[in-house]
Structure 1
Amino acid sequence: MTATPEINTDRAAQLVDLITSATIVDLSVTTGERWPCHPYEGQKFGQFQMNWFTWPRGAFVEYVQVHDDHTGTHFDAPCHQIPPADSGLPAANEFGSITVEQVPLGQMIGPAAVIDVTALVENAPKGEETRLKESPEILPEHILAWEEQHGALTGEEIVLFRSDWSDRYYVPLPEGWGYDRSHPAPRAETIELLHERGIRAIGTDGRGIGLMQDDYSPHWACLGRNIVCIENLTNLGSLPPRGALFVFASHKFEGASGGMGRAFGFLTT
């Protein structure tokens, strides 16, 4: 039996006071049948009423929901694009067996380092069938420029790429079909630099960590190093470059490759 740790009641009270006095910023998109966040080529979100207060089961309302495990604000577990080590498939390694329920909560809780890449959207060529011609690439020099202004990244931080993509384009259908994959995303070399800094979680307010023109390389670079990706965030412009606490709490679904959940930030004054 594991011994219960001794609690420092004074520090616990300080923590409660800090949390209850903080401003909580919701960083999650809304999901549902009217919203665009399921993969268009995959399982569409469905919600089905199973009971309405008296019929057929009792005095309550109840629904069944069907959705892809990468719907809405969610995180990618390493197994999403990293095959198991013994599979013989490309990009396979020891992290390919890590599913959602195995990822520690602490890996997705930490100080937020918000890197503003909105200029990449403004300066990118427009697409004919997509918002942009291709995904603008977040390069290592963008990380280095941010560090020169705000200080070096540290391993306990969670890097959040702010493009305002979901703020602009995540709207109810049919307009929501314009929430496409041409959002900014990091190159593999950028993720390698973050790994050198000790970063273990990356977030984006686009549909995913992958580039529209190259979905695999960023995912392999990230998940293949046991860095989790938190995708479909929103409202990142409400956080400062540094100074907020970021939290993502996922469903604990055994064997899942992606975990839907709620993301939020704590701001103190």
Structure 2
Amino acid sequence: MARTTPQRPVDVEQLFPELAPLRREAIRLHPRAGSPSPAESSVGGPLLWPADEPWPICPSTDHPGEWGQPGTQGPVPLVPVVQIHRRDVPQLDFPAGTDLLQVLWCPFIVDSCPEPTPRVIRRSSGTVGPVLDAAPPTVATAPEGSIPAPCVLHPEPVTDYPSWDMPEEVSEAVGVRMEELKARTGLWYSYHLAEAPGIKLGGYPSWTQEPGWPDCPTCGRTTDHLLTVKSWEYDGMSYRTWLPLEDRDSETGEERRDATGGRAAHSPAQVMFGDAGGVYIFECRSCPDRPVDHRWDCS
């Protein structure tokens, strides 16, 4: 089933024409719990990984424990985060000769890994050959909140506008009008009209705190946003405009519950970064090897 983000209840660019030059396209991945195969795009699913290619290991062999717990010594296999086939997200930039994006990270990525850079791999699916049967088991002490559960995807292009990333001069120009809109309609620009929450490609990072765009260590330019992985697909405020139509209760407008009271769309990947924060992955598209960096935050 496709997932459809509701049309914004107001025309953002008509109300705030200053934002028109700042619009960016994002791809909401809309993960939902499932059993994807290596041949499918997924969050947290098995990767189309060559059987004869070594599985990536975190460069650090010393991961400090949290809250007084013992640390983890020895090799830590990276865990799958996202796999994207070009056929499913043709809007995504794939270098020539590639049609598969794979993102992995250390399961201690939040606060406990001294070598935290994720791995971003692009390859040609047609040259993979025999596929690895299964990834190495995750170390028992790894925090579950940083290991995405297997999900199938329902990619959807949407338009992002900046909130935390809004230039100061633009914020000053539109601030009064945004407050008037909130008083009149209850719509908070940052919650309801700006950038898409959840797990997405491109657009603006869905920051929980002040932005922290990394610079490329090779060329020095500001890197490009590749992927946001948030703890929740929406929250108690943003569901009004970001909960897909297919997941809504026709009477309340809130998420439709299953027989056990569960909400399939709220946190399908079962990740939790700090206190409902996110991990943001960046790459430099000006450098041939596309250096990668990341940031994370929490509320």
Under a length normalisation based on structure 2, what TM-score does the superposition of the two structures give?
0.24
